[in-house]
Structure 1
């Protein structure tokens, strides 16, 4: 009887292990628990909710980020290293080799006013989704989010935030990041070559901080590289500048945002 019981327990254990090995990691989504932290970036929050990054949102290393972004959205190692250098700069601990998602909420480091889905720091917490802010963003998107709609939403959010926030500010780096964020999420959720994405996928991820697999989205087959990100950023930037000029909001700038991001990263890694 003892042997029979032992064999039964072993069979159950093997069965459970086999089932676990067949679990689709894209479907392993959980809300953050008590003690977990999240930040102002819907995508990084999403990756933590799926377990592609530490579910706690804490102590994320360069290797954690590289592995998580490769498995979830097929980012190559170079772009992960590029992003990690910026993210680690938000850690108050000098010369840190890790960051936590709540570090990203530090205002005017990487986090910025005129977010597409958050209120400005003057009005509340940048780590929390805000319906009114995102509703304004969505109103500039068609059924397909493209470069024109992406740029229009950025300009509109800048205008609204500047009118309602007495401490409104947007650094060169913050401005570059809001352009890069738009280029990145369109490319990841849609077609990186045409820089278009279905609005329903964008809305689903921002609202739920969950990858939209149930709507048909799949991990991109082609790697997303630093070169592709910067190319798409420059494309969005060109439309953004065009719309800024049309609304008389343009600020004098020299060089492009892609160059500024590369220069800023060099300063972080020097």
Structure 2
């Protein structure tokens, strides 16, 4: 990674999102480091060039992001616009507190420690993240009186797992070394030695992991019921 794109932490006035991939892109300077005034075209190109998302995947994710937070495609977004509650940001996050409990805009290091404890032989995969997600759901049910969980929330959680594993683990069968997960989620940067996908990440590729995570979540929800 060139010196131009060395990792730098966000400054006090910089904007960041609930998505570690977008935050990593900003922390490395592929997106504006201040996280402001990002156009749809700019976001699409960065997703394609730096993460090797296919053109259609980048197109769909970008437009969905703008539309669900009420932004027009002729406008721009700041990364923290994505914190609109229950749009992209959601409760029982992998790394952040629930909105009603406060602190939902910052990474919670204790949650990351807990997530990493679900590793199997130093690796994190869809099974690990699905088990951890169930744990987060139980915690939210107990601590957040405003917590709601149903079909939409299961879909959001499954897609979050898919995006994480597909971004970090496309070259390792979507199984990621625990150290790389730690850097990506805690530091919000790309791990040393990490390489983007050699083959473009397509919608079917994302949905293959989504379906597996969705199935595991449903199975584990029944066990916990």
C-alpha spacing 1:191/1:95, structure 2 compared with 1 (3 Å): closer
Distance 1:245 1:96 in 2: 44
Number of aligned positions between the proteins: 224
C-alpha spacing 1:192/1:153, structure 2 compared with 1 (3 Å): farther
Distance 1:183 1:132 in 2: 22
Look up the match of 1:74: 52
**Aligned residues of 1:90 and 1:99 also touching (Cα < 8 A):** no
Distance 2:134 2:190 in 1: 26
Q: Secondary structure at the match of 1:234?
A: helix
**Aligned residues of 1:76 and 1:224 also touching (Cα < 8 A):** yes
How far the C-alpha of 1:94 sits from its partner, in A, is 5.3
Look up the match of 2:133: 154
Deviations 1:26-45 (A, max 9, x none): 84222223432111111111
**Aligned residues of 1:38 and 1:101 also touching (Cα < 8 A):** yes
Answer with 1 or 2: which has the greater Rg: 1
Look up the match of 2:196: 219
Q: Secondary structure at the match of 1:60?
A: coil
Distance 2:204 2:2 in 1: 30
Q: Gaps (5+ residues) in structure 2?
A: none
How far the C-alpha of 1:175 sits from its partner, in A, is 2.7
Deviations 1:28-79 (A, max 9, x none): 2222234321111111111111122122212222211121112221111111
- Could you tell me which of 197, 203, 215 is aligned with 1:238? 215
CA RMSD of aligned residues (A): 2.1
- Could you tell me which of 108, 114, 132 is aligned with 2:92? 114
Q: Secondary structure at the match of 1:122?
A: helix
Q: Gaps (5+ residues) in structure 1?
A: 1-22, 249-270
- Could you tell me which of 184, 200, 210 is aligned with 1:205? 184
**Aligned residues of 1:110 and 1:173 also touching (Cα < 8 A):** no
C-alpha spacing 1:156/1:208, structure 2 compared with 1 (3 Å): same
How far the C-alpha of 1:186 sits from its partner, in A, is 1.3
Look up the match of 2:6: 28
Bigger relative contact order (CA 8 A; separation at least 6): 2
